[in-house]
Structure 1
Amino acid sequence: MRKDSAGSRRLFFKLGLSFFLFGLINNVLYVIILSAALDLVPPSTPKGIIAFCNIFPALLAKLGWPYVLKGRIRYAKRLMGCTVISISGMIVVAFFDGLTMRLLGICCASFSSGLGELTFLQLSTRYHPPQVAGHSVGYFASGTGAAGLVGAFLWWELRNLGVRVGVGLSSVLPLVIPLAYYFLLPLPPAFVGLGIPEEARSSSAPPSPYTPYMPLPEDDAETDVSVNAQIGMGDDMQSGKGHVALTAQDKWKLAKPLIMKYMMPLFCVYLFEYTINQGIAPTLIYPVPSSSEAWLMPKIVHSIRDYYPLWQLVYQTTVFFSRSSISIGIPPLPSRLLFLPALLQGFILLFLGFESAVGVSGDNSPVTSFWMVFWLVALEGTCGGLAYINAYYRVGQDHRVSSGVDGDESDAERARQEREFRIGSIGMADSTGILIAALVAVPTEVGLCRAQVARGKMLCKGL
């Protein structure tokens, strides 16, 4: 029986809000730790070590879970594990003053964030028809974009309380995830045969090339998505059809077509993006003009130390809006254009690097240089957000059949695992790009500062 339109909208609202909260809370600790980097380690410690500990464990999670583990995902158990690890990591950061223990706590929070992101994206594939899965991915991406703004704002408010109290209070945030999972998130069967609201249709995808949805057999459905166990808590294939698990050969067959289509664009975008943020943006500083030279810029920038936080604010804001593009009804990029954000990001990297080293407008035109960098950083954030949401949205919709689907329960379970693996397998691309960027950023910043000093611009030495 089809639900009325009001009930349909209510279900889609709860689904969107659940995935938005998942994305927000899963990523907000990552942002808080980066924002608090100056307060977490001694002045003599390179801040790049925070960036490394904040991304490498997440990369290990994204590599290990999709590619190494086999069989059905038990979502509730995994998410409870992520919550416990996140809280434990933040408590260690808050209550231990030693550098080693704080780095260990950061690694725990990073690992949990990486595993959580992978899990929520995989969870979206359990929802059908394709519009529902796309709705979930869109709002999850929007939540991850909002995490940049919310995390920076939270630490700005909490930092005056000190690391122990500020980070300690932040450690309660992961509790939102199990609360939303158990008490807000609608179960997948609620959307079977449901009318799709008009506002959710903008993200619909052509159904023809995709694996058709097959409802779970009754005994499996009761095990897999019951109210008590939620999603994926049951034993694998309890109905007696035998254990279903993708082999390494199966996974390689699924992952190979994704490398150039999805992984390379994501890798390049994030490599360029984080090299800009960590290696070039700190050197994009200019003399602060007087109010007689410019009316708006002096109201925004009061000292040279204000430039870098401003660039980060512009970046995070545009990331949020671009990651929210599908959830607010903007059509996704065609698959053939997924490389476009990476090309634009490469151009922005080269141009901003040239601007920092040489000065495109000259060192006597700070206002012109300021607005040029402002809009390029805004474009950088837009490219990064569009690359993220469109890659995950497209791979989540592209459920191509690699094994026969003839109504057999084992085939249905195999199709589910293939969908989960495909969307989870590309996560290593963005994390690898961020990790390499963290290594490249340090010599990049040093080299650009030397180039500025060589032409007589000494501002980077005053930071």
Structure 2
Amino acid sequence: MRTASSRSGVDVRARQLLRSFSTALKADKPIERGIIRKLGISFFLFGLINNVLYVIILSAALDLVPPSTPKGLVLFCDIAPSLLAKLGWPYILKGRIRYTKRVLGCCFLSVLGMLVVARFEGVNMRLLGISLASFSSGLGELTYLQLSTTYSVEQSGHSVGYFASGTGAAGLIGAGLWWIVRGFGVREGVGLSTFLPFITPLAYFFLLPSSSTCSDTDSIGSRIDTPGYAPIPLADPADPLEDDGAAAVPAQVEKEVIALTVREKLVLVRPLLLKFMLPLFAVYLLEYTINQGISPTLVYPVPHPESHPILSRIFGSIRDYYPFWQLVYQTFVFFSRSSISAGLPPLPTSLLPLPAVVQAVILTSLALESAFGLLPEDLPQLTIPIIFLMIGLEGICGGLAYVNVFYRIGQEEREEEETERSKQEREFKIGSIGFSDGLGILTASLIAMPTELELCKAQVRRGKSLCMAI
């Protein structure tokens, strides 16, 4: 009887403990959801602010330089420094990443670049300012993608999804902001944009979940300044975000500075070339060749208000076609880059080349339409929706390629007990991918110029000279 009674007592206590544990879990869920929400908002803001200046500069290209200056020069200065940062920085960097200094440095360069653009009227100085802002954008994208890998596998994917969504929103918000402030002129309009970079460090310091909060919920991996991933004191003793966990590091560990060599980094990057880099490069090469080389030639007679009352409101002149195609493209890029943050399943790794294949079909179809006029120009109610759908699909493919490539590389299997070396390898791998899209855009800008000219000549040869009037 005593044994049965004691067992009964144990069962009662066990049930009480289970109920208490269940209640505690339920009580923690709102806190956990709140922290995950803060993590998503933080990375959304990182992506938005990091890319919005790039979009503003491209939107303001016509106003930044005199008519005699090729607008492609603005595009080059807005891309080349960013590409240089993405290509060189992962290999130049030695040891662990100082995220606090990176975030503050990117903010400083962005503000400085926009101030130079706003305060100087000379072409050379404005191109210098654009280059500074571009370098900051490239380094910033590299930094925030690497920062996402310092969280757990699940939350790393969550962070990348929201960062990609923010970069997609930058296309719409940046163009909209310049449309609003352009009336003030370049000096005041660009000057008003200089406050935007300050949002990033504010989000980093005051919104991004701290290491202690992440460890309390046990649902998000530790940030770079947690005790388990504490910077080595001898390397940077003055970093304000580093906590007291670093003081507990043994003396023999303090003296051992782990840093990947260039040779080791090249070994790491080799398997990524075909798996991740080539699909991303191909998508952006095709995408920006369409945007810069083919879309400007997709012009048609202005719809007549009586027969096409809706289309005539959208296209008041032939100069309205290209901005409309860009708006369609940016809108669908935003939707597709937000696919993972919206809860849609990511593409399998084996299907990462698929967006590039679809892009190639779209490029070929639009080039043939531009050159030979396959669609009837006297039926805009048919022709314009078809072009709309094709450019929308182009944007979807571009956005899906971007978010899924970075998502998949962040989801690669990790060791149970991670070492400092494995963490640096993970940061390097996601950072090394970033130059692929920039290289694709830069290559496309070189291909697009002769493509646009040849397509326009083909239209003139068949008696259509609308492209000459833009």
TM-score (norm 1): 0.90
* 3-state SS of paired residue (1:4): helix
Shift of 1:220: 2.8
Question: Residue 337 of structure 2 aligns to which amino acid in structure 1?
Answer: R
Question: Residue 301 of structure 1 aligns to which amino acid in structure 2?
Answer: F
Higher share of residues assigned helix: 2
Which residue does 2:16 correspond to in 1? none
Which residue does 1:204 correspond to in 2? none
Shift of 1:354: 0.8
Which residue does 2:282 correspond to in 1? 268
Q: 1: CA distance between counterparts of 2:282 and 2:90? A: 21
1:240 corresponds to 2:252: yes
Which residue does 2:423 correspond to in 1? 416
Is the 8 Å Cα contact of residues 151 and 223 (structure 2) preserved in structure 1?
no
Q: 2: CA distance between counterparts of 1:383 and 1:248? A: 33
Which residue does 1:140 correspond to in 2? 163
**Given the superposition, is the C-alpha separation of residues 330 and 227 from structure 1 closer, same or farther in structure 2, using an over 3 Å criterion?**
farther
* 3-state SS of paired residue (1:296): helix
* 3-state SS of paired residue (2:327): helix
Which residue does 1:34 correspond to in 2? 58
Shift of 1:187: 2.3
Which residue does 2:441 correspond to in 1? 434
Question: Residue 273 of structure 1 aligns to which amino acid in structure 2?
Answer: E
RCO (CA 8 Å, sep 6+): is it higher in 1 or 2? 1
Q: How many matched pairs?
A: 441
Is the 8 Å Cα contact of residues 37 and 47 (structure 1) preserved in structure 2?
yes
Structure 1: tracts of 5 or more residues without a match: 198-210
**Given the superposition, is the C-alpha separation of residues 212 and 43 from structure 1 closer, same or farther in structure 2, using an over 3 Å criterion?**
closer
Shift of 1:31: 0.1
Which residue does 1:249 correspond to in 2? 263
Q: 1: CA distance between counterparts of 2:238 and 2:408? A: 29
* 3-state SS of paired residue (2:300): coil
Shift of 1:430: 0.5
Residue 313 of structure 2 is aligned with which of 299, 302, 316? 299
1:73 corresponds to 2:80: no
Q: 2: CA distance between counterparts of 1:164 and 1:215? A: 40
Q: 2: CA distance between counterparts of 1:214 and 1:77? A: 12
Is the 8 Å Cα contact of residues 399 and 419 (structure 1) preserved in structure 2?
no
Which residue does 2:42 correspond to in 1? 18
Shift of 1:370: 1.2
Residue 454 of structure 1 is aligned with which of 458, 461, 465? 461
**Root-mean-square deviation (Å):** 2.8
Q: 1: CA distance between counterparts of 2:259 and 2:232? A: 21
Instruction: Give deviations 1:378-399, integer Å, cap 9, x for gaps.
Output: 0000000000000000001114
**Given the superposition, is the C-alpha separation of residues 191 and 174 from structure 1 closer, same or farther in structure 2, using an over 3 Å criterion?**
same
Is the 8 Å Cα contact of residues 81 and 132 (structure 2) preserved in structure 1?
yes
Which residue does 1:317 correspond to in 2? 331
**Given the superposition, is the C-alpha separation of residues 322 and 66 from structure 1 closer, same or farther in structure 2, using an over 3 Å criterion?**
same
Shift of 1:366: 3.2
Instruction: Give deviations 1:336-382, integer Å, cap 9, x for gaps.
Output: 10011010011111111111111111333333221111110100000
* 3-state SS of paired residue (2:230): helix
* 3-state SS of paired residue (1:329): coil
Instruction: Give deviations 1:68-120, integer Å, cap 9, x for gaps.
Output: 22111000001111110100000000111111000000000000000000000
Is the 8 Å Cα contact of residues 138 and 324 (structure 1) preserved in structure 2?
yes
Which residue does 1:84 correspond to in 2? 108
Larger Rg: 2
Question: Residue 436 of structure 1 aligns to which amino acid in structure 2?
Answer: T
Is the 8 Å Cα contact of residues 227 and 246 (structure 2) preserved in structure 1?
no
Which residue does 2:3 correspond to in 1? none
Which residue does 1:326 correspond to in 2? 340
Which residue does 2:125 correspond to in 1? 101
Q: 1: CA distance between counterparts of 2:380 and 2:290? A: 20
Higher mean C-alpha deviation, range 167-176 or range 284-293 = 284-293
Question: Residue 169 of structure 1 aligns to which amino acid in structure 2?
Answer: L
**Given the superposition, is the C-alpha separation of residues 344 and 234 from structure 1 closer, same or farther in structure 2, using an over 3 Å criterion?**
farther
* 3-state SS of paired residue (1:274): helix
Q: Tell me the percent identity.
A: 58
Shift of 1:213: 12
Q: 2: CA distance between counterparts of 1:355 and 1:400? A: 48
1:229 corresponds to 2:241: yes
Q: 1: CA distance between counterparts of 2:86 and 2:319? A: 36
Question: Residue 322 of structure 1 aligns to which amino acid in structure 2?
Answer: S
Question: Residue 39 of structure 1 aligns to which amino acid in structure 2?
Answer: D
**Given the superposition, is the C-alpha separation of residues 133 and 227 from structure 1 closer, same or farther in structure 2, using an over 3 Å criterion?**
farther
Shift of 1:461: 1.0
Structure 2: tracts of 5 or more residues without a match: 1-23
Q: 2: CA distance between counterparts of 1:40 and 1:327? A: 35
Is the 8 Å Cα contact of residues 74 and 234 (structure 1) preserved in structure 2?
no
Question: Residue 133 of structure 1 aligns to which amino acid in structure 2?
Answer: S
Q: 2: CA distance between counterparts of 1:133 and 1:226? A: 27
Q: 1: CA distance between counterparts of 2:270 and 2:92? A: 16
Shift of 1:151: 0.2
Residue 137 of structure 2 is aligned with which of 106, 113, 119? 113
Question: Residue 349 of structure 2 aligns to which amino acid in structure 1?
Answer: S
Q: 2: CA distance between counterparts of 1:243 and 1:267? A: 34
Q: 2: CA distance between counterparts of 1:105 and 1:56? A: 13
Which residue does 1:164 correspond to in 2? 187
Residue 443 of structure 1 is aligned with which of 447, 450, 453? 450
Residue 149 of structure 1 is aligned with which of 154, 167, 172? 172
Aligned counterparts, 1:116-127, within 5 A: 116-127=140-151
Question: Residue 108 of structure 1 aligns to which amino acid in structure 2?
Answer: L
Q: 1: CA distance between counterparts of 2:303 and 2:352? A: 40
Shift of 1:191: 3.0
Instruction: Give deviations 1:279-316, integer Å, cap 9, x for gaps.
Output: 11111110112134334311221111111111111111
TM-score (norm 2): 0.88
Is the 8 Å Cα contact of residues 76 and 230 (structure 1) preserved in structure 2?
no
Question: Residue 392 of structure 2 aligns to which amino acid in structure 1?
Answer: A
